[in-house]
Structure 1
Amino acid sequence: MEKVNCILCGSWESREICSYKQVKIAHCEKCGFIYRNPRLKKDSNEQFYSFDYYKEYEGIDIKIIEARLDLFRTVLKKLSKKISYDSRKILDVGCGHGHFLKLARDLGWNAKGVELSKTACAYAKEIFGLDVVDKSVDRACLNENYFDTVTLWNVLDHLSSPLVQLKEIRRLLKPRGVLFIRVPNVSFHLFVHKLFRLLPQFLKTRLINDPSVITNYGFSSKTIKKILNKTGFCNIAVYNSPLSSGDPYKSASFNQGFVKLIKLLLNMVSNAVYFLSFGKFYIGSSLIIYAEK
């Protein structure tokens, strides 16, 4: 483990705001960025995602992907309209077992992926026949100005060096190429984490896991814009992400129909708040971001 400074402003001044699953979460006193401090060193972080991450989530990955298929299709359709090239070259960073890439390829995209997990990478190659490299994007030696779009599905917050990775992604994109990112909304997840701790025990027994998600970095609508501006991206647009169907993470023991109803209501409320605030407030559980080189 190592103590780290804020990647947005460089300040070493931070205070612990909560302990999340035995991990200390810090708040930068200068710019307000949320991040894990201390955290795993870069090599240890990459080793975890190379060998241990998919073991921890074995058995639920397919359900997570199936729950996101409609969102995958929606995003690919929007990306098709945004890019100004006919080659439709797409790179998925942290592509996992390759389900998103397979869908992209089936819809006519020239698809490539990078994935640290050797197990997931082998699956993507052998089962789907995908072109996937088992390295981080900054070590994959990919061609400059090559891709029309690069996607990161719930990956950016797990990285040890997001500034390095984003600068490399910008190098790989063609001029006016499109970056797509989906990340947990830290404002939502900090609130849920604090609420979960206040729940009476009989309600906690109905919840198998704390449903909040906080990893190496916690991005809000403001801080995701800051890091993208810092790494040279422009025309940044942030939205509440539609929620995936059901409860693929098995965080609750409630009936799946009840979970779907709750998610539908959350979608409606978060979108209403977004529009009524003229795009100033984001209370959805995840954010989706589009940006250009």
Structure 2
Amino acid sequence: MTNPTPERSCWCGYQTLFPYSDDYRVCKACGTLVSRAPVANTADQASHETGLYSHDYWHRRQREHHGLPDIEARARLDLPERCTYWLQHLLQAKLPPARVLELGCAHGGYLSLLGWAGFSSIGTEMSPQVVEFARKTFCVDVRLGTVEAQGFKTESFDVIVLNDVLEHLEEPLSTIQHCASLLKPDGLFVVQTPEYKEHLTYTDLSAAQDLFLRHMVNNNEEHLYLFSRRSVGELFRRLGFASVAFGNPVYSYDMFFTASRTPLRQNSPEAIWNSLSKRPEGRLIQALLDKAYESNDRWWAIQRFQKDRP
């Protein structure tokens, strides 16, 4: 007779969870959706040909399950969109030279942009094939396995990036606590993750055909914790990162924020240009940023127009 698989508890430690949907329960203490999927015994092991975060995940599963381009296409498509947008926000908070660690760096395109901008960057991934793909495609430094397994020195990074990673962590408090030890005293977390809006019920989401549902339906084996603004604030403040500033996300169903132990500063466009213009590659980065600003302004203008329509 096998032992029953234990239910996943909330990262915050609160034991009482309430039904939310077939795939999730909700922690009302902190405002997190908690997956009903069985607790994995191998979440910290690197994946190979099949399984989550494997070669298969980045090819067949992206196309057939998520309806997204595979890693080959994403390596091209993400550069002028997501990667440039992320870099734009990072430069507003931290200028090169600085040392950046990206957890779950996928194809490595963002690491490449960071390098061209003058940052020193390292990434991690869980599949040997994906690590090799990133190294060959963008000539970037990518390590295999979890961040805890890498042996990085304490206080050795200026920035740690988690883009579409936080929701996948089996033990987010433990992993973020470890990452916090790797940051210098004035270091930053820069995070993108799906945003659970606490005021919306599952019925509300379904009635509106909300795009957030794509993170929930048939996805709870990947998305283990779906955070609200309240819960990510609690997570990072619990670890000493009292300054949490939210920015506009790339997509409306996400949230994008920066967390710091000290008050956050905002670098001016002039300061960013002065930093980037010192390198030929930096001038290329500035050209990409200029186009990104133009596209972002147009997109948010459309959003405001649609919101104000009668």
TM-score, normalised via structure 2 length: 0.68
129 and 31 in structure 1: CA distance in 2 versus 1, 3 angstrom threshold: closer
Deviation, 1:138, is 1.3
Displacement of 1:37 after TM fit? 2.5
Separation in 1, partners of 2:156, 2:164? 23
User: Runs of 4 or more off by more than 6 Å in structure 1?
Assistant: none
1:23-34 matches, within 5 Å, as 24-34=23-33
Alignment of 1:17 with 2:20, yes or no, is yes
Matched residue SS, 2:232: helix
Query: 3-state SS of the aligned residue for 1:7?
Result: coil
Q: What is the match of residue 287 of structure 1?
A: 255
CA deviations over 1:195-226 (Å, ceiling 9, x no partner):
57458xxxx9xx9x995213111111111101
Paired residue for 1:36?
A: 35
Match of 1:180 in 2: 190
User: For the residues of structure 2 that align with 1:13 and 1:175, how far apart are their CA atoms?
Assistant: 35
Between 160-169 and 210-219, the greater mean CA deviation after superposition: 210-219
Cα offset, 1:81, TM superposition: 3.7
Report what 1:262 is aligned to.
none
Match of 1:223 in 2: 231
DSSP 3-state at the match of 1:236: strand
2:198, 2:14 → 1: CA distance? 25
Q: 1:143 aligns with which of 125, 139, 153?
A: 153
SS at match of 1:186: coil
In the comparison of the two structures, how many residue pairs are matched? Answer: 239
Once residues 38 and 198 of structure 1 are traced to their aligned partners in structure 2, the CA distance between those partners, rounded to angstroms, is 24
Change (3 A) 1:155 1:210: closer
- Provide, for residues 107-158 of structure 1, a one-character-per-residue CA deviation record: whole Å limited to 9, x for no partner: 2221110111222111011222211111111111112111111111110001
Establish whether residue 213 from structure 1 lines up as the match of residue 215 from structure 2.
yes
Q: Give the aligned partner of residue 173 of structure 2.
A: 163
Q: Which residue of 2 aligns with 1:266?
A: none
- CA 1:168 to 1:45, structure 2 compared with 1: closer, same or farther past 3 Å? closer
2:128 is matched with 118
The residue aligned with 2:80 is 69
**174-183 vs 100-109, which moves further:** 100-109
Q: Distance in 2 between matches of 1:74 and 1:210?
A: 20
- Matches of 1:4 and 1:211, distance apart in 2: 20
* Counterpart-to-counterpart distance in 1, 2:79 and 2:191: 14
TM-superposition CA deviations, 1:47-72 (whole Å, max 9, x none): 54342532411543455562563342
Q: CA deviation at 1:92?
A: 0.7
Q: CA RMSD in A?
A: 2.9
Asked if the contact 1:87/1:148 (under 8 Å) is kept, the reply is no
Alpha-carbon distance in 2 for matches of 1:99, 1:53: 18
Q: Contact 2:30–2:234 at 8 Å: present in 1 too?
A: no
In the alignment, structure 1 segments of 5+ residues that lack a partner are: 244-283
The change in CA–CA distance for 1:111 and 1:44 in structure 2 (over 3 A counts) is closer
| More divergent stretch after superposition (50-59 vs 119-128) | 50-59
Q: Which runs of 5+ in 2 are unaligned?
A: 64-68, 217-222, 262-310
